[in-house]
Amino acid sequence: MSQEFNRGPAPQQNKDLFILTYGALVAQLCKDYEKDEDVNKYLDKMGYGIGTRLVEDFLAQSSVRRCHSYSEVTHIIAEVAFKIYLGVTPSVPCNNSSRNEFSLILDKNPLSEFVGELPAGRSSLCYCSLLCGIIRGALEMVHLAADVTFLQDKLKGDSVTEIGITFLKQPEEKKYRRKK
């Protein structure tokens, strides 16, 4: 049982299979659906399902404490979660002064590292919509509603990939869970 305790970063071989699997997934969805919006939507939906489960694995492994601000949450996502699961650490510049919009800037996205550019009929495809869905699903499980979208995408010609997280105000239902 001792392997259970050593959760180091995944070795390089595993990532290649993962990248290929993701590529195959997007390719199949492109074959199944004509419109880019549909593909994006289904990728996001799948990501949401993954996020709801991944968050428990993340919390169990990393034993992070309760966060007290949205900024802290974003930093934990960038510095701990991305590091564990994708091996990269996006940077978090400070955004909007109302402190509920944040960005994650990735200059190296392992999922789309080997995709040069989007094919000609698929210019509004968000290749990594899955990631948005994952973040959204994970946040929702810890009672933080958020909108997660791609603000910039290297595959579309921008210089970096930027994921925007906008935390939405929640109705005050449970006081004891408010402080997160």
Query: What does the alpha-carbon distance between residue 161 and residue 169 come to, in Å, rounded to a whole number?
Result: 26
Q: How far apart are CA 133 and CA 43, in angstroms?
A: 7
Residue 6 binding other proteins, by CB under 8 A: yes
SS3 content of the chain, % helix, strand, coil (to 5): 50, 10, 40
Give the nearer residue to other proteins in terms of CB position, either 60 or 120: 60
Task: Indicate whether 25 belongs to the interface with other proteins (CB under 8 A).
Answer: no
Rounded to the nearest whole angstrom, what is the least distance from the CB of residue 59 to other proteins in the complex? 6
Q: Least distance in Å: CB of 57 to other proteins?
A: 4
Residue 26: half-sphere exposure toward Cβ, Cα within 13 Å: 23
HSE-up (13 A, CA, CB side) for residue 8:
5
Cα distances (angstroms) measured from residue 73 to each of 64, 117, 135 = 10, 32, 11
Residue 31 in the binding site for other proteins (CB under 8 A): no
Which residue, 5 or 31, is less far from other proteins as judged by CB?
Answer: 5
If binding is defined by CB under 8 A, does position 84 make contact with other proteins?
Answer: no
Closest CA to 131 of 58, 62, 81: 81
Site for other proteins in 130-169 (CB under 8 A): 141-143
Q: Considering only 3-11, 77-85, 97-105, 163-171, which stretch makes contact with other proteins by CB under 8 A? A: 3-11
Which of 53/99 has CB closer to other proteins?
53
Q: Using an 8 Å Cβ cutoff, are 55 and 168 in contact?
A: no
For residue 76, the minimal CB distance to other proteins (Å) is 11
- Please, what is the minimum distance in Å from the beta carbon of residue 135 to other proteins? 15
Closest listed residue to residue 85, CA positions, set 129, 141, 136, 19: 19
Nearer to other proteins among residue 35 and residue 53 (C-beta): 53
Question: Any contact of residue 52 with other proteins (CB under 8 A)?
Answer: yes
**Which residues sit at the interface with other proteins, rule CB under 8 A?**
1, 4-6, 52-53, 55-57, 59-61, 63, 66, 141-143, 175-180
